[in-house]
Amino acid sequence: MSQLEGERTFAIVMNANCFEEATDIDYFITNVDAPIVTNEWIVTTYSQRNWVEVFYREAKGWLGLKEYQVRDKKSLIRHFILVFCAYSFILWHKLTGGLQRRWGNKPLKTFTEALEAFRTAMSFRFFDWLTDNRDVFAAYKESLGFIWA
């Protein structure tokens, strides 16, 4: 708490009218300006916390957020950006019905099903692009010191 700057606001949330009767007590602290910190703001902010946890669970489990083999900070940031972009793209399509509409002929009800549809579509599009642009891909690989034959 000593590292927070400015005035601090504490909120105590419990399931009873007094400490003696409460069986569940939560403490919240923030350095957000006092006029902003209302009961409604605390409830709204805390309720959004679950979605952050859902994101990390899905990003780690399905998109390989924790499975990276990089040696420097720049590569690590690139990996994180790719994971965040893929997650945002999949979630947007899932919420708007785009994956089902464009890439699946069955209902895509889970994140896993949406991810599989996304991977299938990207694989198909890359293969289609590679078929038409072998010379571009070969030139790129050659610039890296590899031979594409």
Tokens of 57: 């669970």
pLDDT digits (tens, 9 = 90+) for 19-40: 888 888 777 777 777 788 888 8
pLDDT digits (tens, 9 = 90+) for 46-95: 777 777 788 888 788 877 888 778 888 998 888 888 888 888 877 777 67
Model pTM score: 0.45
Q: Which residues contact 63 (CB under 8 A, 6 or more apart)?
A: 83, 86, 87, 115
List the domain boundaries for the chain.
9-37, 61-143
Residue 13 half-sphere exposure, CB side, CA atoms within 13 Å?
10
Q: Concatenated DSSP letters for 116-147?
A: HHHHHHHHHHHHHHHHH-HHHHHHHHHHTT--
